[in-house]
Amino acid sequence: MELKKLLTGAVTAIGLAAFIAAPATAEMLAIEKDELKFGFIKLTDMAPLAIAYEKGYFEDEGLFVTLEPQANWKVLLDRVITGELDGAHMLAGQPLAATIGFGTEAHIVTPFSMDLNGNGITVSNEVWELMKPHLPVGADGRIEHPIKADALKKVVDRFKAEGKPFKMGMVFPVSTHNYELRYWLAAGGIHPGYYSPTDITGQIKADALLSVTPPPQMPATLEAGTIHGYCVGEPWNQQAVFKGIGVPVITDYEIWKNNPEKVFGITAEFAEKYPNTTLALTKALIRAAKWLDENDNANRQEAVEILSRPEYVGADKEVIANSMTGTFEYEKGDKRAVPDFNVFYRYFATYPYYSDAVWYLTQMRRWGQIAAAKDDGWYAETAAKVYRPDIYLAAARLLVAEGKVEKADFPWDTDGYRAPQAEFIDGVTFDGRKPNDYLQQFPIGLKGQQVVDGGSVVGG
């Protein structure tokens, strides 16, 4: 395909922008803003940003990028909204929540999904010892996985009988971690609590009390006894093993196989004002994701070296490598192969599927962050406002033309919805086209016209 036609297609795909028709090189995009500052939280899944920077992929696109760690997810989002940051590594729920006005209101979009999987749920040593008698043991003498929350329910019930609250940490109210932890708990009969317009603690009717703890502080908070467990990304589950203060009981890969995790977020205003810059940064991130997964993860050890630096994640190499190189350690010494614990490129990991957005929105509705019922059309419209596969595919077309990626690496013919997914720990099937039918399947959680009124659920 001639580059002129290709670039014209890219313009059509994002609805804006001027391109220069010339040889198929990265410099041919007419960058509107070349000096950029991107934010991130110190987690291993910020890797595409670090690799795009370290491998020169940003520079290849004519971008001069500064990467800056942020104190927490709220600060990160606020700084993107104010323009102090041009974009950031974000929780997938953040652009959606901001766009619908849950918490800080702003129109945030994502042209790039950063990864699949990558989280775990860890409990304290005390809780683990109480769970173990209720867990099946395999012929090899090791506890069988995946571990369901049914065993934890017995511990939670014991705490309740003794008049003690059972507390768990997650990283942010609209984080994947919050929804994965809630999903796992509810699948085991433990109510994780509701939100309401007048009570945003998320602890209405809760058996387990969930609250926010910044990721790097998770291990210390667990060790202090302030919480009894947490859900977080790496390396903070493996850090608990390394320090001997807790036991990761399940990964999110076991809760929902190949679940979407972080996204790269920018304001809708940025995407409209700087369309070529948006394309260029998306191209660089796609190349970084490819590097991270290519040749059966052959580059992961180098990635570990980079991520261990203080300017990125700043954790011990051994801790990061525990999960980043295709294994995961549960109890100390119980290291098992989990080759897809971190996925950055394969399985179309970088494509921003509308159905991924819909799943997050269903969880917001399930737990009361979306207070009232919405029809299926609302879910589809909201997903399309935030997730921008049009920008993504325009960037991919350019990379294919430049010979930097393979055409087969991208789902060109998708309508943005994955096929119905059934690989959840409770066996419930998710169809992104039918969000309300999906919600009807859960014994715990809001559905239909139900709303939270005070401390009660009312409506049908």
Residue 28 — very low, low, confident or very high, per pLDDT cuts 50/70/90? confident
pLDDT tens across 48-105, in order?
A: 999 999 999 999 999 999 999 999 999 999 999 999 999 999 999 999 999 999 988 9
Specify the length of the chain in residues.
460
pTM for this entry: 0.93
pLDDT tens digits, 398-414:
999 999 999 999 999 99
Residue whose structure tokens are 């036609």: 5
What's the pLDDT tens digit per position in 183-235?
A: 999 999 999 999 999 999 999 999 999 999 988 899 999 999 999 999 999 99
Phi-psi region of 150 (alpha: psi -120 to 50; beta: other; left: phi over 0): alpha
Separation between Cα atoms, residue 95 and residue 383, nearest integer Å: 10
Q: Report the chain's mean pLDDT, rounded to a whole number.
A: 93
The arithmetic mean of pLDDT across residues 425-429, rounded, is: 97
> What pLDDT band is residue 8 in, cutting at 50, 70 and 90?
very low
User: What is the pLDDT at residue 124?
Assistant: 98
pLDDT of residue 57: 98
Q: Domain segments of the chain: what residues? A: 3-116+260-352+388-409, 119-257
pLDDT in tens, 122-140: 999 999 999 999 999 999 9
Query: What's the pLDDT at 325?
Result: 93
* Across 149-178, average pLDDT: 97
Per-residue pLDDT reduced to its tens digit, 270-288:
999 999 999 999 999 999 9
Distance CA 114, CA 293 (A): 12
Query: Can you give the pLDDT at residue 10?
Result: 40
**Chain segment 10-21, per-residue pLDDT in tens:** 443 444 333 333
Fold category of 119-257 in CATH: D-Maltodextrin-Binding Protein; domain 2 (3.40.190)
How large is the average pLDDT for residues 411-424?
97
Q: What is the pLDDT of residue 16?
A: 39
Is a pLDDT exceeding 90 seen at residue 317?
Answer: yes
Q: Same CATH topology for 3-116+260-352+388-409 and 119-257? A: yes
pLDDT at 405: 98
Reported as a single tens digit per residue, the pLDDT across 235-253 is 999 999 999 999 999 999 9
CATH of domain 3-116+260-352+388-409: 3.40.190.10
Q: Which pLDDT belongs to residue 21?
A: 30
